[in-house]
Structure 1
Amino acid sequence: MLQASETLEVDKSDKTIQTDMSVFEQLESEVRSYCRSFPTIFTKAKGYKLWDTQGNEFIDFFAGAGALNYGHNDPHIKQKLLDYIADDGIVHSLDMATSAKERFLERFHEVILKPRGLDYKVMFPGPTGTNTVESALKLARKITGRETVISFTNAFHGMTLGSLSITGNSFKRHGAGVPLNHSVSMPFDNYFDDELDSVTLLERYLEDKGSGLDLPAAIILETVQGEGGINVARFEWLKRIEEVCRRFDILLIIDDVQVGCGRTGPFFSFEPAGIEPDIVCLSKSIGAYGLPLALTLIKPQYDKWAPGEHNGTFRGHNLAFIAATEALRYWETDEFAKETQRKGEKVHQFLKQLVEKYPQLRGEVRGRGLMQGLAVEVEGLADQICKAAFKRGLIMETSGPDSEVVKVMPPLIIDDEGLEKGLSILEKSIQEAIKNL
């Protein structure tokens, strides 16, 4: 087991990264974000590493914000894509039937749904996470005839208007420029202290005709709030939320866009809780190669769409089908999930050592699987840690409403050597940031 070091010496071997970013500054919109956090021009990537135009090597603890669970340029997936392109396979097809889509649907049923006893129809709503969330909200309202959707504090569900209406982050919400209606935010698990039970509060609001809360069409949640600060819902809390939904005839939507596809260990993050959502939202790593793809999984009795009632030009990209089908080989046994959980525990124990070793952090460890976070109470310190890490060749981002959580989210395929090297850089970056307090 990797141990936190005993010294507070700052490693001076950080990279000199002097990249001319003028093209992006002059020609790209001010809305750009990640190129400000990682100010270099990347040119190559493989597995859990990236390289920039100067030849600097970086360990990736970011994984495309969760879109690269299988790493960069997986050789098996790459070969399947090359073969398909060389054979003039259909690339764009709207929602027409293609052999690539047929194979994906068959394999997804055989490898993912059937072994878990899950019965869902698969919808291709558009290529991004917010597309699948929007389709889920629209369908829930269509089925129930109700308008309100309940979401939770610190939730993040996407950047389009419907998704923003159920997102907690005030900065993101204000970007809408119009009122965000037909949603109610309730406290997530452990939002308050242990004395206030958020599920009991939710039930009371639903029971009380004087609460001002209309019976909702759906409750939507993330089992682990990635952008919201790596807040983890207990399995018993998730089970009770499902029971509330069944009692009041409310649809349960699980947003597994970032925490699905094995990020927490099992393919679906909700599996250990023993719940069965009515609708599941998937995107990011379901595309397997960084290719845009989203799925909305719907219990058959709720598949009430009229043909073409929800459509989009890129709702099911065939190259993504090829990549996603090949990636399912990781799930033919339970070894991949077990390895993710093992590596996740390794990260968790290391972060706990850091909290104990450096009380200046006023830190707290959060997470499941290979979605881990180090919450830092010192204002601005998490950002400084990530900046120091980048200089040393480690790509990380922060999360949480005040960017207070250092997020550890490497590709799931990372080996122990890469994981330990990245964690070592993280510790050195913490030492540097503390020294500069």
Structure 2
Amino acid sequence: MTTNNPRALSVFESLESEVRSYCRGWPTVFDRAQGARLTDEDGHSYLDFFAGAGSLNYGHNNPVLKRALIDYIERDGITHGLDMATTAKRAFLETFENVILRPRDLPYKVMFPGPTGTNAVESALKLARKVKGRESVVSFTNAFHGMSLGSLAVTGNAFKRAGAGIPLVHGTPMPFDNYFDGQVPDFLWFERLLEDQGSGLNKPAAVIVETVQGEGGINVARAEWLRALQELCHRQDMLLIVDDIQMGCGRTGGFFSFEEAGIVPDIVTLSKSISGYGLPMSLCLFKGELDVWEPGEHNGTFRGNNPAFVTAAATLDAYWADGQMEKQTLARGEQVEQALLAIGEEHPEAGTQIRGRGLVWGMKFADPARATTVCGRAFELGLLVETSGPESEVVKVLPPLTVSSAELDEGLQVLAKAVRDTA
């Protein structure tokens, strides 16, 4: 199903920077999209199990959200508002409080730090350092928190870190859950360093963690590990930051990925699917007592994306007011898990490991190169999936939360054929 027209891609190859990446694995020119499907300019249809890297949890051009957006634009609603008060922002804040925060008894203030996830992470790190008066932040092995310098300093991937071109400082990695395959007690190394005055570890202001490491290879933290981490942070006077940029907004089942563990982080970052429609938007949430900002101390030109506020509010009303989205996501997740396990049983020689939560799943191959080959063959068969992990050794399954059971089954059958074809 790849394009046979070299001219179709010529302007991208001649004019666009070599830094482009996703288009190399999917060499066609996409033109339209609806729900869980993309269509290229030649009319070929693709099932999308990538979902904008998690920014399209409710599918492409969701009709409910599209209608709200069109109505807002047609009445000349504010598009760009910096951090001015607007009716669109008010509607989002009121809906977010009533539908998300209050039912979960979460005591958060809301900050709009800029349009992307890394903006949210940068503001979280800056706030933690300001509150605690310390510079060091602890992150975890295989973490990914963004591509700007502060976020890169708490990111594990060596390739991405190298792109900074300067030393990345004030970040210290610790082992993520099950990093030692259960052979070492949780947080043994971390706590020993904190208590040893000769360890060389500066007292951290905060710890930042993903409950499920998406880019790191679909590494799932156990609920008890997260609870123990929160307890350690409280005991050692460190703030706990949960990066929920890819795993929040319902990806793991609950609206926040940390709900299952029963923890309440001090700071939470959200982006990707918070707008619901793929529009740039991010939030930094934090407990009220941490709101020590001076007016204008952290700002940005595009932190007031009002069309995103409109679709975000419509998303919460449409999908989170009645509690059904979580149940559907968990059911769809079981469907994915069973299909991936069946693929692994069919190909014992591949040495697959299946892991995930909700509607984010990974299939790790013993031969790292196999995952890339499988994704390439899946594209030829009409399915978009990407790899993740430090060696791109994991096939990552990340469909929209609104995907139908039939579409999910169709895509999983294509994935099974791609694995079969690359054996």
Q: Structure 2 length normalisation: TM-score?
A: 0.98
Q: What corresponds to 2:405 in structure 1?
A: 416
Q: Give % identity.
A: 60
Find 1:393's aligned residue among 382, 387, 395: 382
Q: What corresponds to 1:211 in structure 2?
A: 199
Q: What corresponds to 1:404 in structure 2?
A: 393
Give the 3 Å change call, closer, same or farther, for CA 189–16 of structure 1 in structure 2.
closer
Quick one: distance in 2 between partners of 1:347 and 1:206?
Answer: 40
SS of match in other structure, 1:380: helix
Q: Deviations over 1:245-297 (max 9, x none)?
A: 00011000000000000000000000010100000000000011000000000
**Structure 1: gaps spanning 5 or more residues:** 1-14
| 1:433 and 2:422 aligned | yes
Quick one: distance in 2 between partners of 1:264 and 1:333?
Answer: 17
**8 Å contact from structure 1 (residues 365, 372) kept in 2:** yes
Q: What corresponds to 1:67 in structure 2?
A: 55
> CA offset at residue 334 of structure 1?
1.6
> CA offset at residue 231 of structure 1?
0.1
SS of match in other structure, 1:220: strand
Deviates more, 1:330-339 or 1:383-392: 330-339
Find 1:121's aligned residue among 106, 109, 112: 109
In the alignment of these two chains, the number of paired residues is: 420
Quick one: distance in 1 between partners of 2:283 and 2:173?
Answer: 25
Alignment of 1:28-427 (within 5 A): 28-329=16-317, 330-427=319-416
**8 Å contact from structure 1 (residues 17, 391) kept in 2:** no
Deviates more, 1:193-202 or 1:80-89: 193-202
Q: What corresponds to 1:17 in structure 2?
A: 3
Deviates more, 1:79-88 or 1:201-210: 201-210
**8 Å contact from structure 2 (residues 246, 272) kept in 1:** yes
> CA offset at residue 379 of structure 1?
2.9
Quick one: distance in 2 between partners of 1:135 and 1:415?
Answer: 37
SS of match in other structure, 2:155: coil
Alignment-mate amino acid for residue 219 of structure 2 = N
Alignment-mate amino acid for residue 381 of structure 1 = R
Q: Deviations over 1:4-39 (max 9, x none)?
A: xxxxxxxxxxx3532431110001000001111111
> CA offset at residue 111 of structure 1?
0.0
SS of match in other structure, 2:311: helix
Quick one: distance in 2 between partners of 1:82 and 1:350?
Answer: 39
SS of match in other structure, 1:185: strand
**Structure 2: gaps spanning 5 or more residues:** none
Quick one: distance in 1 between partners of 2:304 and 2:230?
Answer: 30
Quick one: distance in 1 between partners of 2:257 and 2:362?
Answer: 17
Alignment-mate amino acid for residue 178 of structure 1 = I
Q: What corresponds to 1:11 in structure 2?
A: none
Q: What is the alpha-carbon root mean square deviation over aligned residues?
A: 0.7
SS of match in other structure, 2:333: helix
Quick one: distance in 2 between partners of 1:163 and 1:279?
Answer: 15
**8 Å contact from structure 1 (residues 151, 221) kept in 2:** yes
**8 Å contact from structure 2 (residues 244, 257) kept in 1:** yes
SS of match in other structure, 1:21: helix
Q: Deviations over 1:291-314 (max 9, x none)?
A: 000000010000100000000000
> CA offset at residue 198 of structure 1?
3.4
Deviates more, 1:17-26 or 1:424-433: 17-26
Quick one: distance in 2 between partners of 1:64 and 1:360?
Answer: 32
SS of match in other structure, 2:33: strand
SS of match in other structure, 2:387: strand
> CA offset at residue 316 of structure 1?
2.4
Quick one: distance in 2 between partners of 1:206 and 1:274?
Answer: 25
Q: Structure 1 length normalisation: TM-score?
A: 0.95
Give the 3 Å change call, closer, same or farther, for CA 16–159 of structure 1 in structure 2.
closer
Quick one: distance in 2 between partners of 1:16 and 1:345?
Answer: 31
SS of match in other structure, 2:356: strand
Alignment-mate amino acid for residue 296 of structure 2 = G
Quick one: distance in 2 between partners of 1:365 and 1:316?
Answer: 40
Alignment-mate amino acid for residue 268 of structure 1 = F
Alignment-mate amino acid for residue 370 of structure 1 = L
Deviates more, 1:160-169 or 1:190-199: 190-199
